[in-house]
Structure 1
Amino acid sequence: METKEFLYQIKPIRSDFLENQLQEEKNALEAHFFYLQNLLQEDKLVLAGPCLDASFGLVILHNVDKEEANSIMLNDPAIIHEIMTGELFPFRISLLKK
């Protein structure tokens, strides 16, 4: 059975990202947020959010295959604009609050 859920972890490329954002980085983060909102409307996003220390963020996708999940990650504005790196993992949602 092909996995239909994936998680990608994004990490800032700079350790001082939270305290010291350039305007271009702020713009890329805004585009990243709208990109994720669009995925939510397309019923491909389950959850997305950052750790409060900005060390990493998570994006959980469903109703996608590996190729689409990888494409979604690589087209994330945070990755395109090289303010974050991404790593994709097959994932299974076992419990979910209704």
Structure 2
Amino acid sequence: MREYIYILKLIPRLQDAGNWSEEDQDLVKQHFVRLKEYRDEGKVILAGKTDREDEKGFGIVIFKEASDEEAEVFMKEDPAVKHGIMTAEVFPYRVALYPE
């Protein structure tokens, strides 16, 4: 297994909190539940986001996968990406420091 990171960005419409629909909120809940499940399985190492809700804000997911192709699939299956409320890009990654 190799480490990867995908970087998430909200689509421009959602950079204004007043534009969020119930469906958008539900998709983010699904996104979070999925990440927690994979964290519990040991696949997701870390996930988080900046405190910015503007064009400079982003989230990251650091995870383990067997190949570049499977990493791409894992990212694309994220409900927020799959349903188009976030864009994402995946990269091979290597965590250099872990907490002691």
| TM-score (norm: length of structure 1) | 0.88
Q: Give structure 1 regions of 4+ aligned residues with deviation exceeding 3 angstroms.
A: none
Aligned-partner residue type, residue 59 of structure 1: V
Aligned-partner residue type, residue 45 of structure 2: V
**Maintained 8 Å contact 1:5/1:65:** no
The whole-number CA distance in structure 2 between the counterparts of 1:44 and 1:7 is 12
| TM-score (norm: length of structure 2) | 0.86
Instruction: Report the secondary structure of 1:5's partner residue.
Output: strand
Greater displacement, 9-18 / 49-58: 9-18
RMSD across aligned C-alpha pairs, in angstroms? 1.6
The aligned counterpart of 2:10 is: 12
Give the Å deviation of 1:15: 5.6
79, 82, 94: which one aligns with 1:80: 82
Give the helix-richer structure, 1 or 2: 2
**Identity percentage of aligned residues:** 34
The aligned counterpart of 2:72 is: 70
Give the Å deviation of 1:41: 1.6
The whole-number CA distance in structure 2 between the counterparts of 1:24 and 1:12 is 14
Give the Å deviation of 1:64: 3.5
The whole-number CA distance in structure 2 between the counterparts of 1:33 and 1:84 is 13
- The unaligned stretches of length 5 or more in structure 1 are none
The aligned counterpart of 1:34 is: 33
The aligned counterpart of 2:23 is: 24
The whole-number CA distance in structure 2 between the counterparts of 1:17 and 1:26 is 13
- The unaligned stretches of length 5 or more in structure 2 are none
